[in-house]
A and B are shown apart, each in its own frame.
Chain A
Amino acid sequence: MNAPHLDVGQAVRDSTTDDVPPHRHLVQRSRFLNAIGTPRRTPWGAASLAVALVVVAVAGWFVWRDKHEALEFESQIDATTGETRWLFSDGSQVQLAPGGAATVVAMQGGGAKIDLARGRLDVYVNPAPHAKWEVLAGPHTVTVTGTKFLVERGAQESDVTVEVTNGRVLVGGPELATPVVLDEPGERYSTVAEPEPEIIRQASRPPPPRREPPKQLAFEDELLEAERARLAGEKGLAEEILTRMRGRYPNGPKGSQVAFRLGRLLEYDKPVKAAAWYARVMKEQPESPLARSAAQAIVDKLSETPQAEVARRFLAEPSPSSP
């Protein structure tokens, strides 16, 4: 005689089979297929596709960004040396020696194109894939991707000297069938004083020529420089020049004149600061027509600032020049 549990198992087993009425099977299958929707891709197939798409999108974005993100730069003039320095948003720096002339003619492909009209440029390009930097020096073009080098124009139109501190540059020009590659520290390409262009390989770079300290510009010239920067839209540079001048002329008529210029420069972008500069003019030279102009400017354009009330009272008082 079997143990009872074996009979129980047998009874359940015998009463249930794999047979399902066809219509019930079809109904249930239709229900299942409806629930899962359209025939799907396998999970790993979909996951692989999704991962691949994400990778391609991210890589594409980086490439696009490297190629298309425009750099920004600001100019600085070194008061001591007189050098103009351009600081680029990617960390690259270009320094123009005093007396030189150069223009950033284009911002391109994560780099810049600079036209050196005369003088010498010290260039440091922060290495970045796809960044395209070019320095045009007369008929020559120096192409770089990441390096530190120097370009100097000579007296003649075609005279140029390129010297690499580190990295790699390509120098192209009308007399060169193929670009010259400079890729060793101190390596130099020059057309100056030699009948034929030549590459001079040297172990170390000669000491740079001593720079003479720049001559101090006259007060009026500096004001003109600031005004030129302001009109060119380089307000930061104009403010820098004027602030530096104010440091040298902390009071007196010249100092007030600089303060007034600063007030006018900052009226729209930094009204509180502008009002403060105007107020200094009123305080330093209350008898001068400049002080009344400053007060008037506050009342007319900066009436929301704390100095407005003082300016109104100032204007309400009789002018010293009025009869």
Chain B
Amino acid sequence: MATRPVALMAAVRDGEPGAAAMLFDALAPRIRRIMRRSCGATPDLDDLVQDCFLKLWKSIGRLQDPERLDAFVYAIAVHTARSALRKRYVRRILKIDTSVVEEVGDGVGGMDGRERARDAEALLDRLTPELRLAFVLRHVEELDLAEGAAALGVSLSTFKRRLASAEQRVDILARSAAAAHSSIARLPEGT
């Protein structure tokens, strides 16, 4: 973050002109990244970022310690992502999810990188919202266990349990996908 949290919070608390823009500039890349990693390449990503910022702006007055801004941002972003994932999960169960993944990845890593990312996100899409968030926080955002638990608002043991379930599920899905891929590769031509 280019602006120090203390200075940023002071500007917001003092109602300085431009404080909101400053807050957005400082946090938008990170929030967008968290939402993108948590929810995937969804077409409503901009809406999710907007929701997240509105929640942040509404509740930032409750933040007493500016040094805890990072954790605060994580908690709000995860909360927003969880709501979106739950809705999507229900729509998917009811077969009414019409969202289309338009773009996977930010163009980093070339074609192979994008394919890997698309495959990875396809696996994550098959997790429940709680398991997916635990996985993303630990293995994508690389938070430690305590930070992950705090961001999810659960106890450390709950976080560990969810994480273990997510890892196990991802491993199974990845191996199944790899097995299916190799089977397709071995099929004789023309079948």
Contact = CB atoms under 8 A, between A and B. Distances in A.
B37 A18 contact: no
A39 B19 contact: yes
Contacts of B166: 5
A243 to B, nearest CB: 67
Given A4-B171, A29-B24, A39-B15, A15 B114 contact: yes
A41 interface: yes
A12 B37 contact: yes
Interface centre among B14, B104, B108 (most CB of A within 10 A): B108
Interface residues of A, number: 34
A288 B42 CA distance: 104
B28 A29 contact: yes
A16 B37 contact: yes
Given A8-B124, A8-B174, A19-B29, A14 B109 contact: yes
Contacts of B21: 29, 33
Given A12-B124, A14-B109, A4 B175 contact: yes
A31 interface: yes
A138 to B, nearest CB: 64
Contact of A15 (B50, B54, B104): B104
Interface centre among B104, B120, B138, B142 (most CB of A within 10 A): B120
B105 A16 contact: yes
A270 B53 CA distance: 69
Contacts of A32: 20, 24, 50, 53-54, 57
Given A8-B124, A45-B15, A13 B140 contact: yes
A8 B29 contact: no
A28 B49 contact: yes
Interface string A45-85: 10000000000000000000000000000000000000000
A11 B116 contact: yes
Contacts of A3: 167, 171
Nearest to B34: A16
Given A12-B136, A15-B116, A16-B106, A4 B174 contact: yes
A8 B167 CA distance: 10
Contact of A36 (B29, B54, B105, B109): B54
B170 interface: yes
A203 interface: no
B45 to A, nearest CB: 10
Contact of A29 (B25, B135, B174, B175): B25
Interface residues of B, number: 53
A206 B16 CA distance: 73
A6 B113 CA distance: 15
Contacts of A7: 120, 174
B120 A11 contact: yes
Contacts of B88: none
A45 B16 CA distance: 12
B156 interface: no
Contacts of A42: 12-15, 61
A12 B170 contact: no
Contacts of B124: 8, 12
Contact of A11 (B13, B49, B119): B119
A252 interface: no
Contacts of B190: none
Interface string B1-34: 0000000000011111111110011001110110
A8 B139 contact: yes
A11 B170 CA distance: 13
B142 to A, nearest CB: 7
Contacts of A20: 28-29, 32
A35 B124 CA distance: 32
B147 interface: no
A25 interface: yes
List 5 A-B pairs, minimum CB-CB distance, nearest first.
A9-B139, A15-B105, A15-B117, A4-B174, A43-B61
27 contacts: A4-B175, A5-B170, A5-B171, A8-B120, A8-B174, A9-B135, A12-B121, A14-B108, A14-B109, A14-B117, A15-B105, A15-B106, A15-B113, A15-B114, A16-B36, A16-B106, A16-B108, A16-B117, A16-B140, A20-B29, A25-B29, A28-B46, A31-B50, A32-B50, A33-B24, A41-B15, A42-B12
Interface of B: 12-21, 24-25, 28-30, 32-33, 36-37, 46, 49-50, 53-54, 57, 61, 104-106, 108-109, 113-114, 116-117, 119-121, 123-124, 135-136, 138-140, 142, 166-167, 170-171, 174-175, 178
